[in-house]
Each structure stands twice: as structure tokens, then as C-alpha cells.
Amino acid sequence: MLFLLAAGFSLIFGLMRIANLTHGALYMLGAYIGVSILKTVPNLWVAAILSGLVVAVFGGLLEKLILRRLGGNVLGQVLVTLGIAFILADFCLVVWGGDPIPVPTPAFLQRPVRIAGLAFPAYRLAVVIIAIAVGIGLFLFVEKTRLGAMIRAGVDDRDMARAVGIPVSRLFTTVFCLGAALAGAGGVIGGPIMSAYPGLDADMLPLALIVVILGGVGSLVGAFVGSFITGFVYTFGVALLPDLAYVILFLPMILVIAFRPRGLFGKFAA
Amino acid sequence: MATEALALDGIDALYGDSHVLHSVTFSLQEGHVLALLGRNGAGKTTCMNAIIGFLPARKGEIRVFGERVGRLSPEAIARKGVGLVPQGRRVFPTLTVKENLIVAARGKNQLDHVFELFPRLKERTEQHAGSLSGGEQQMLAIGRALMGNPRVLLMDEPSEGLAPLIVAEVGRTIARLKAEGQSIVLVEQNVKLAFDLADEVAILNTGRVAFAGPASAARDNESLITQHLGVF
């Protein structure tokens, strides 16, 4: 689940070099929209896809109308996206209220699954499988398709890519939409585990940042490995040393920054 | 009467406040090679940047086969049939050789043609372009431009920084493209190479056109050459 969040973030941050701090808020927005959709269509997967689409449209507008004008102004991007994150958080508070809204787990995934004598909640297992499938899909898209190569060309040398006829701006808007969609759908799919509550955005954004910093900016493999490390560390940290959960969470990140500033699989220095 | 492939008509261009092109005017006939010459800083690369749309001209008009392209974005100009082999080659370093080529493909598939021109690229299709030698990168940059089936090919110092043997190879490639009917604007510091290939010559000096005309007339005009190009 963390991977869905981090993959979108890594896609935007790594490929487009946009520090998109709305990512946590997009995740929360996705979760809430999913909740609303579930009231009329009681199917989590449909809700995840629809919610992802809605959030993608929102992300696309955000990129086209606001972020593109900021160009390479990193500080501007950080401030604007942080501001929009606050606006989104308040918007969610107004529309959906302050109480946590649980998201029901699909019925057929409620039983635990036994693997090698250990019981796993079936839903979490399903989420892991989805994350792996999305990861493989994204990897193939970015690394093996012509469109993916065009995106990478745009990242390598934006002007030159335009000079060979690649519509870089349009492609980057699409990538931003894709990242936002992953966040939105992730919010819904993560719903049965996390539910939807005010402050979800602020809980998720640091996790996304840690995952991406751990794994390395712009690396999907890194995002995948980073999300596993972070997931394990966080879960065990909370269970074993609840007082130090955040310390344990940030410790690997600090170590990685200190000894391998590019992240475990990163191409660029973060 | 030959068709006009590319025309610059009274182009003014500025970087910030500094005026780098003053009313630059020249034109290229279809199937010809025009050599754009001049000392460092004369405005040759700026002309290229203006044509491809990196640096939109303040004044004047740029036409590609009669169509005005002055207000278009680089990607739109590229789609009108302008191919750029930029200064410094600028291949996409993290893409493989093949990816560098296919991202630029438009219209008729030129992959086989490019591999035939540069067999060396075919041997290295899966290699990252950043790990190629300078000469190979130059071939890739030329091949990449050809993938878009350009009606006008802009080549900005294709011989720069290459070993003499490779320069000769690049020269043969340009001659062959010319023989195939490709219209080319060639920016060169290597004046000999340029005169060998060019039908027409435009000489820039501090952002102004000092001479525009047939290559034969420029070649024999010694004072023109020493004044604007230095000795060679």
C-alpha cells in the first residue's frame, strides 16, 4: 500500500523534479472520494479506480494551471503544493466531517490466509499483490515502451526532446495525472487498513518522503524496496517500541542520507 | 526555379538585453547545403536556436517551405519538418541508442536507413547513449534527427571535438545526405569542410549577415574570408 503511494510520488518527484507536497492530501482526497463512491457502488475496486480518475483530473489541473508556471522554482513548488495540501485538508474536513470513516474490507478477503503456518490477513496480501502488479506495470511502461522512453528523454534534456518533436509538457501533465491517480486509488485501497480521517494526509506524506528518500529519487525499484523497509520498520516499531516509532522510522532514512545520499537505488542526489 | 526550403527574413533575436541577431536574412533552396559561417560568438548557434524555436525571434519571419513557423513551439516546428543536430550533440544519455532513435521517429520509418548510414550504431542498439564515444554520439545525434524525416536538417558544428578520421566520416555522411536530396543548413568552424559541401554560404559577423551567396563566390573572395573567418 505504501508502494502505491510512494510510486506515484517517486514518479512525479523523480521524473519531473517537482517536489509535490500535495501527495499526502491527494491520497486523503482519494480515500474520502472512495468512501462517498462506496455508498452508491459497494465495490472497493470500482471505487478505487473511479477515485483514482477523479484525483488524476484534479492533479492534471493542478499541474497545468499552477505548477507549470513555476518552472524549475523548487521553493515555489514546495510552498504552493503545501498550501494546496492545507486547502485540500480543510476541504475534506468541511465535506466529510471530522470523524474517521472506516472503509469496509471486501467480504471475500476478510478471512486470514495461512501460509507456512503463519496467518496473514487476506486483504493485506491482496494489497501486496496489487502493489507488485502496479510496480511491474509501471516499470514496463517507463522502461520498455516508446512513450516511457519519450518521458525519459524529456527528463534527460527537456529542450532537446522538444526539438525532436516530443510534446514534453503534455507528457509531463500525463505523468503527473498518473502519479495523482496512484495516490487517489491508493487512498481507497488503503482504506480498509487506514480508514479515512482528518490528518491522514499529514500521516502519509512523511511516509512517502521516507520511502522515496530511502529508495532513491526516480527509481521505481527503489520505491518498492523502500516501501517494504518502511512498512516493516513502522509496523514492528509501533508494536515493539511504540514510544520510539517515529525515531525508528526516520533512523534508516538518516542512515541512508548519511552514507548513500542518492538513496539505495537512486540516479540523482536527492 | 528551385523551391525555397527555409528562409530567415529580417530576424532579430535577443538574450535578455543583449542584441545578438540583427535583421538576419538568408534562405536555403531545396536539396542544397547552406553553410552558415562566422567566428565564435557571431550568432550562428543563435540562428539555429531561433529556427528551432528555443529562442523565439523578436522581429522578422522564419518560413519552412513557405509556412511561417516563427511563433510555434519547438515540438511544433520539429513536426513541420525541421530536424536539429545540436551543438554538443545532446543525445539522451540515459536512453539506449535505439530509444534515442525511436523517440524521435515520425512518419516513414527511417531506422534501417540510419543503421545503414551508421552500422556502428546498429552494433550498439542496447547501449546507453551516455557511454558512447564522441563520434558515435555525433552519429546518433544525426541519426536521431533523420528519424523525423526532416525536410530541413540543421547541423550545428557536427565536426566539433572529433578526431580527423571521424570528421571525414561525418563529412562523407553529409555529402551522402545531400546526394539523397536532403536540404541542410550546416554551421561549421571547419571552413574547409563547409566549403567542400556547401552550395551557398552565409557569413555572420557580430549578429549581422556579412555575406550571403553562392559558395564559389565566397571561396574565391580572399578578403571576405580573412576578414570574417580568419585564416584557414
Closest CA to A215 of A2, A22, A10, A8: A10
Name which of A2-6, A65-69, A238-242, B5-9 the model is least confident about. Answer: A2-6
Please check whether residue A257 lies inside any domain of the structure. no
In this complex, is the C-beta atom of A144 within 8 Å of any C-beta atom belonging to chain B?
no
Angle at B215 between CA B232 and CA B187, to 5 degrees: 65
Residue A112 has pLDDT above 80, yes or no: no
Taking CA atoms, what residue in A is nearest to B80?
A: A165
Contact at 8 Å (CB) between A207 and A234? yes
Mean pLDDT of chain A: 80
Q: What percent of chain B has pLDDT over 70?
A: 98
Strand partners, B201: B35, B213
pLDDT in tens, B71-103: 899 999 999 999 999 998 999 988 899 999 999
Which pLDDT score, from 0 to 100, does residue A269 have? 42
Name which of A118-127, A167-176, B165-174 the model is least confident about. Answer: A118-127
Check A168 against B75: CB less than 8 A apart.
Answer: yes
pLDDT in tens, A161-175: 999 989 988 888 888
Mean pLDDT of chain B: 88
Q: Which domain holds residue A31?
A: 2-101+121-196
The shortest C-alpha distance from B165 to chain A (Å) reads 27
Residue holding cell 526516520? A250
Check A165 against B52: CB less than 8 A apart.
Answer: no
Those residues with Cβ within 8 angstroms of residue B133's Cβ, 6 or more apart along the chain or in another chain: none
Taking CA atoms, what residue in A is nearest to B106?
A: A165
- Which range of A65-69, A123-127, A242-246, B121-125 scores highest in mean pLDDT? It is B121-125
Chain B residues within 8 A of A153 when measuring between CB atoms: 92, 95, 99-100, 103
Please check whether residue A204 lies inside any domain of the structure. no
Check B78 against A156: CB less than 8 A apart.
Answer: no
Pick the residue of A150, A158, A164, A219 with the most B CBs within 10 A to test the interface with B by mutation.
A164
- Which range of A113-117, A119-123, A166-170, A238-242 scores highest in mean pLDDT? It is A166-170
Please check whether residue A45 lies inside any domain of the structure. yes
Please check whether residue A66 lies inside any domain of the structure. yes
Please check whether residue A210 lies inside any domain of the structure. no
pLDDT in tens, A221-270: 777 777 777 777 777 777 777 777 777 778 877 887 777 767 677 655 43
Query: Which residue intervals of chain A are DSSP H helices?
Result: 2-10, 16, 23-40, 44-62, 68-70, 74-96, 122-144, 146-156, 158-163, 168-189, 191-194, 200-215, 220-240, 245-259
pTM (predicted TM-score): 0.82
Check A267 against B94: CB less than 8 A apart.
Answer: yes
* Domains of chain A: total: 1
Which pLDDT score, from 0 to 100, does residue B90 have? 92
Please check whether residue A219 lies inside any domain of the structure. no
Interface of A with B in 162-191 (CB under 8 A): 162-168
Name which of A10-19, A136-145, B177-186 the model is least confident about. Answer: A10-19
In this complex, is the C-beta atom of B97 within 8 Å of any C-beta atom belonging to chain A?
no
Which pLDDT score, from 0 to 100, does residue A2 have? 63
Name which of A56-70, A101-115, B56-70, B109-123 the model is least confident about. Answer: A101-115
Residue A14 has pLDDT above 70, yes or no: no
Please check whether residue A202 lies inside any domain of the structure. no
Please check whether residue A205 lies inside any domain of the structure. no
